[in-house]
A and B are shown apart, each in its own frame.
Chain A
């Protein structure tokens, strides 16, 4: 007889774990299945774990801001659980959004006001006072160093910044997922690792369970796809599910890099997370007094869509790990060095390369599917880490409502954000939405 659960969650990353945590708290017996060795070891581990409130839509801002409450009160969220690996730490640096042509910051500010996000407006003098190493010239439009115009001397200045004092980043993204796993286990959730799903079994369009690579069958009337960059492969295993989605997901290769701070500047102690659309980068402090530099996907940068299995098996020229391309290393570090006067650029590229589970409009899918009992929390597109605890709760409530008979496709589940008290139309995250052209079509979401 196969082992039985109320719900199987495929993936134990930073979104799979909170879904288990919340479903368990609601009384469901859950099992997370992950093909890697521990929680958060997949693309979660490579996340920059940034916690910021600016998104391109009002609901996006509201969900992100709701998430702040969890990160700011991390131990409370975890139910004061013990984790033998220790707890991840919220580094509450504050978050700077530079006003530039690269961000629709006026829209963001409007959303901040509507949602009630705490923020300050900084003029250039204030930014210079807070971050003396920033050169506040405007470098727009974003270019690559191969472009001769990249090195043109700028003549104009940025307009200022929106500063969000509650922003920051989590010290260790993999550990944060591990923490949530321990919290979920304390409520009765189970996890198995080194277990690869090869089949989603169904009968009469109702999911009945999964089959693992070693042939083990596990049964549950609810299966949730939270497989990160493998999400589209899992959807393809569930009969009719992939085909029925209007919005699809695929895996995008992405690099982040780190460079030593300018000499004499303690970025780790004194720095802020900064979103800098003017140079198409975001950056935050990293241990070792480094600038950790990510890309905001400017149009001039090529996108490399890959098969996640080939990527993780190192069968592509550049696989997962610390092997970066010299071209992208130069693009991101040179851009950042234009803003950060005196930033050091090592000869050897240093950083991390992994995959985004990217949706067509860079907005995630939190939804049911055409198959009864089969749900998905996918398409995080590099911008959902900060939303993970909220997404966990939203998915658990959405699943619960659907299982109790709600026709979520017809009448989307209204999700109430517990701290902000605001209700979100979860139809926003539907698999069957049209492409949302309000999106930034970038990691900014």
Chain B
């Protein structure tokens, strides 16, 4: 069984993002594996543990530095790593096309896991475009996953606490949510072992992929400064709890 996991090398959520040139951030900051992709990888590794002769293959598209994220994937339990290397910034149309090609070349895919979104671009599109390229069904914001015979049974979180249970034939594309699992992180020996593994690298442009019918171009980029206005809740524990429920209902709108 070939279990693919698409991962992305993204800026650390704790990093301060500075726009350097138009549409480029200063990349002299810490980069990490996209956190939702960690959940995707964890699920893939768990599936491998209960599936005889399964192979977990981590795939990414990005610059040479994205090798770091693939090393992290190998340390977390991936068996193979594939990098489609490019220096160009890609939109989700191009990224999905490139990932699909990488999966076809290594294939065949029995299942594809990825994060529901990347925390840098937050386009929420790549996994669906990838599924379309591969002609596979897809489910996003997945909070539980199981296999029933040859079918995937997933629970997807909808808005305001609603959940939907879907059953899909394999292969399919699964978009992991944060609450899908609690990733176990690698130990030092696993990190060291991963450093010695090969990363299969191909220059993206050498693949000569057909140009997409359209693409998204970045015209300008400005940092969004969140004007945070923290408020301290005062009163008894009961009053504070009531106020939190009120805020979650009225302001955050996550409670009915």
Q: Spot the interface stretch: B8-16, B154-162, B167-175, B242-250.
A: B8-16
Q: Are B30 and A349 in contact (CB under 8 A)?
A: yes
Task: Give the complex CA separation of A231 and B13 in angstroms.
Answer: 32
Q: Are B12 and A323 in contact (CB under 8 A)?
A: yes
The interface size of chain B toward A, counting residues with CB under 8 Å, comes to 22
Judge whether A348 and B13 touch: CB under 8 Å: yes
When the two chains form their complex, are residues A342 and B12 in contact, meaning their CB atoms are under 8 A apart? no
Kindly specify which of B46-54, B83-91, B136-144, B183-191 makes contact with the partner chain: B183-191
In the assembled complex, A343 has its CB within 8 A of some CB on chain B: yes
A residues in contact with B192, CB < 8 Å:
151
Indicate if the CB atoms of B32 and A345 lie closer than 8 Å: no
In this complex, what residue of B is CB-closest to A337? B188
Decide if B12 touches A349 in the complex (CB within 8 Å).
Answer: yes
Residue-wise, chain B 64-99 has the 8 Å CB interface mask toward A (1 for contact) of 000001001000100000000000000000000000
Interface membership of A322, Cβ < 8 A: yes
Candidates B14, B38, B187; contact of A349 at CB < 8 Å = B14
Question: In the bound complex, how far is the Cα of B16 from the Cα of A151, in angstroms?
Answer: 32
- Does A334 have its Cβ within 8 Å of any Cβ on chain B? yes
Are A324 and B187 interface neighbours, CB within 8 A?
Answer: no
Main secondary structure of the interface of B (DSSP, over half): loop
Shortest CB-to-CB span from B166 to chain A, Å, is 29
Interface string of A338-349 (1 = CB under 8 A from B): 100111111111
Within 8 Å CB of A334, what residues of B?
Answer: 188
- B72: nearest chain-A partner, CB-CB: A347
By a CB distance below 8 angstroms, the chain A residues around B134 are none
A319 at the interface (CB under 8 A from B): yes
CA distance A360 to B76 in the complex (A): 43
Tally of contact residues, A, Cβ under 8 A = 27
B39 to chain A, nearest CB (A): 12
Q: Which of A84, A317, A337, A347 is in CB contact (< 8 Å) with B32?
A: A347
Point out the residues of chain B lying under 8 angstroms from A348, CB to CB.
Answer: 12-14, 32-33, 35
CB distance from B79 to the nearest CB of A (A): 18
Chain B minimum-CB-distance residue to A260: B185
Q: Does A343 contact B188, Cβ atoms closer than 8 Å?
A: yes
A1 interfacial contact with B, CB 8 Å? no
Tell me the smallest distance from the CB of A284 to a CB of chain B, in Å: 19
Within 8 A of A (CB), among B230-253: 234
Query: Which residues of B sit under 8 angstroms from A346, Cβ to Cβ?
Result: 185
Within 8 Å by CB of A342, from B15, B28, B35, B187, lies B187
Cα–Cα, bound, A263→B182 (Å): 12
A401 contacts chain B at the CB level, 8 A cutoff: no
Shortest distance from the beta carbon of A134 to any chain B beta carbon, whole Å: 14
Q: Tell me how far the C-beta of A338 lies from the nearest C-beta in chain B, rounded to whole angstroms.
A: 7
8 Å CB interface, A301-333 against B: 314, 317, 319, 321-326
Using a CB–CB distance below 8 Å, which chain B residues touch chain A? 12-16, 28, 30, 32-33, 35, 38, 69, 72, 76, 184-188, 191-192, 234
Known: A84-B234, A347-B185, A348-B35. 7 other contacts (CB 8 A): A259-B185, A260-B185, A323-B15, A337-B188, A347-B32, A348-B12, A348-B33
Can you sample 24 A-B contacts with CB below 8 Å?
A: A259-B185, A260-B185, A262-B187, A263-B184, A317-B28, A321-B14, A322-B14, A323-B12, A323-B15, A323-B16, A323-B30, A324-B30, A337-B188, A338-B188, A341-B187, A342-B187, A344-B184, A345-B186, A345-B187, A347-B185, A348-B12, A348-B14, A348-B32, A349-B14
Q: 9 nearest interchain CB pairs? A: A344-B185, A337-B188, A323-B14, A347-B72, A348-B32, A346-B185, A322-B14, A347-B33, A326-B30
